[in-house]
Amino acid sequence: MSTQSTAASITNTAAFDAAQAVIPGGVDSPVRAFGSVGGTPRFMTRADGPYLYDVEGNRYVDLVCSWGPMLLGHQHPDVVAAVHEAVDAGLSFGTSTLAETALAELITQRVPVERVRFVSTGTEATMTALRLARGVTGRNLIVKFAGCYHGHSDGLLAAAGSGVATQALPGSAGVTAAAASETIVVDYNSPEQLEQVFAEHGENIAAVITEAVPCNMGVVEPAAGFNAFLREITRRHGSLLIWDEVLTGFRASDAGGWGLTGREEGWTPDVWCFGKVIGGGMPTAGLGGSAEIMNHLAPLGPVYQAGTLSGNPVAMAAGHATLARADASVYERVQTASDALRTGLVEALETAGVDHSIQRAGTLFSVAFGTSERGVRNYADAQAQETFRYAPFFQSLLSSGVYLPPSVFEAWFVSAAHDDAAIEHVLEALPAAARAAAAATPED
Ligand SMILES: *Cc1c(COP(=O)(O)O)cnc(C)c1O
């Protein structure tokens, strides 16, 4: 049950109407729109632990977690205190600060990178990573996987997963043929296609960019050995491996998606992209790698990159407090909460007779309807699912006070603040949602 608290000052519908009058579609990121699930986007006023509260005073168990950053839950006291302290000292200086070094040190202690450059968004991180790869190799082509999302820069919007898939756009208007022509898109989990592309274009390929675990077409597990193969084939051809951990970084595991594969298998990518968790809810992202590669960036090297608010002290404080607090107990709790949700989801769907498959990687998972036979190995599989079952499933949970991503092509996000009470609330709401999914027809 959604908890009605204080009297509403404004309804979600009125808030959405007002927003649409001044903001395209009423949202500042298309993934927040309710286009594929119907109804009115909820306007949140505050958050606490595992909960969000909207303008009408409704409470929701938050399974979006700001699309990943809120690993500790909302308003964690350590993070709030660190941010308050930073704010009191000054919002932005446009100079170097100790906070940047401190956060970079934490990152280099967690994953094998020697240098980190901070930027403000994941889009900037991946965009810069491409420029860096091209600058280092002197080559122009980039290989990406269909269904992987790497932010919204021109060359990376081809077959870019969730946001684009939910909006049913074929990529994006405004991206020139020239920009698109330097991106080669191949199917995820297909070593054969990569071999073919490298055989044809190998000497012009600057980099392969991949999500450490694809999470923007729903979660797609890398087949055993697939990431190690990416490492091997890029090295064999003198290309770089760009490892996008913007979503998975310090969330899928203590060492992100790399912690699930590379750490055990003993390999490291060349350029890493971080975001989401490293900002703890503030606009911060970054890229990292060996000193040798990263020193190609200005001011040491010829690859230019800059940012007025890069390494902003308030954002650094939030990120540092989040990562510093994210010890083994945090990942244990996130895993336990995630496992409980996944188990409850499977049980509810099986009871209701909804054909589905669950994809998971570490603490992240997602559901795809009508896919039990093949599972989901790539974007084509993800798109072939029974998407029509998601809207009624989502709406049922929403009306019970559970806020899921408004798209079936997204992972479910939990935090260490998702305690037994919050999880229990979702588990109680799942059977009705599963029945709504079961009753859905393609015409709905
Ligand atoms: C969110 C995301 C990005 C883009 O980050 P923004 O901060 O939204 O620009 C890039 N790559 C992946 C894998 C993401 O999930």
Mean pLDDT value across residues 343-359: 98
The residue type at 64: V
The ranges assigned to domains in the chain are 7-63+327-439, 77-325
Determine the pLDDT at residue 306.
96
Is 48 assigned a catalytic role? no
Ligand 1 pocket check: which of 153, 246, 271, 410 to mutate, most ligand atoms within 8 Å of Cβ? 246
Determine the pLDDT at residue 101.
98
pLDDT by residue (tens digit) across 41-57?
999 999 999 999 999 99
HEC per residue, 168-216: CCCCCCCCCHHHHHCEEEECCCCHHHHHHHHHHHHHHEEEEEEECCCCE
Mean pLDDT value across residues 311-339: 98
Contact, 369 vs 387, CB < 8 A? Answer: yes
Contact, 276 vs 122, CB < 8 A? Answer: yes
Contact, 341 vs 412, CB < 8 A? Answer: yes
Determine the pLDDT at residue 16.
97
Task: Please determine, for residue 392, whether its predicted confidence score (pLDDT) is greater than 90.
Answer: yes
Determine the pLDDT at residue 173.
83
Q: Which are the contacts of 409, defined by CB distance < 8 A and separation ≥ 6?
A: 161, 162, 165, 166, 216, 217, 218, 382
Among residues 75, 155, 26, 61, the alpha carbon closest in space to that of 401 is found at 61
The residue type at 159: A
Determine the pLDDT at residue 161.
64
Task: Please determine, for residue 3, whether its predicted confidence score (pLDDT) is greater than 90.
Answer: no
Model confidence at 156, in pLDDT bands (50, 70, 90)?
confident
Contact, 405 vs 166, CB < 8 A? Answer: no
Determine the pLDDT at residue 157.
81
Determine the pLDDT at residue 267.
98
Instruction: Let me know if the fold of 7-63+327-439 is the same as that of 77-325.
Output: no
Determine the pLDDT at residue 84.
98
Determine the pLDDT at residue 68.
97
Is 244 assigned a catalytic role? yes
> What does the alpha-carbon distance between residue 313 and residue 86 come to, in Å, rounded to a whole number?
7
Model confidence at 178, in pLDDT bands (50, 70, 90)?
confident
Mean pLDDT value across residues 124-129: 98
pLDDT by residue (tens digit) across 249-262?
999 999 999 999 99
Mean pLDDT, the chain, as a whole number? Answer: 94
Model confidence at 7, in pLDDT bands (50, 70, 90)?
low
Determine the pLDDT at residue 165.
56
In this structure, whether the domain defined by 7-63+327-439 belongs to CATH 3.90.1150.10 is answered with: yes
Task: Please determine, for residue 102, whether its predicted confidence score (pLDDT) is greater than 70.
Answer: yes
Determine the pLDDT at residue 1.
43
Percentage of the chain lying above the pLDDT 90 cut = 90
User: Thinking of the domain 77-325, which architecture would CATH place it in?
Assistant: 3-Layer(aba) Sandwich (3.40)
> What does the alpha-carbon distance between residue 10 and residue 350 come to, in Å, rounded to a whole number?
39
Is 144 assigned a catalytic role? no
Number of separate helices (H) and strands (E) present in the chain:
15, 13
Q: Which of 149, 188, 390, 403 is catalytic?
A: 149
The residue type at 332: E
Chain Cα centroid distance, residue 167: 17
Mean pLDDT value across residues 123-151: 97
Burial of 327 (C-beta count, 10 Å sphere; 0-12/13-18/19+)? exposed
The residue type at 175: V
Percentage of the chain lying above the pLDDT 70 cut = 95
> What does the alpha-carbon distance between residue 415 and residue 282 come to, in Å, rounded to a whole number?
16
Q: Which of 276, 331, 379, 403 is catalytic?
A: 276
The distance between the two most distant Cα atoms of the chain, rounded to a whole number of Å, is: 65
Is 4 or 328 the better-scoring residue by pLDDT? Answer: 328
pLDDT by residue (tens digit) across 221-252?
999 999 999 999 999 999 999 999 999 999 99
Burial of 432 (C-beta count, 10 Å sphere; 0-12/13-18/19+)? middle
Task: Please determine, for residue 5, whether its predicted confidence score (pLDDT) is greater than 60.
Answer: no
> What does the alpha-carbon distance between residue 310 and residue 92 come to, in Å, rounded to a whole number?
10
Please give the DSSP secondary-structure letter assigned to residue 413.
-
- In the structure encoding, which two tokens stand for residue 167, read together? 């909006």
Nearest CA to ligand 1 atom 6: 122
Instruction: Give me the residue label for tokens 């509810």.
Output: 348
Q: Ligand 1 — pocket residues by CB below 6 A?
A: 121-123, 126, 149-151, 211, 216, 244, 246-247, 275, 285
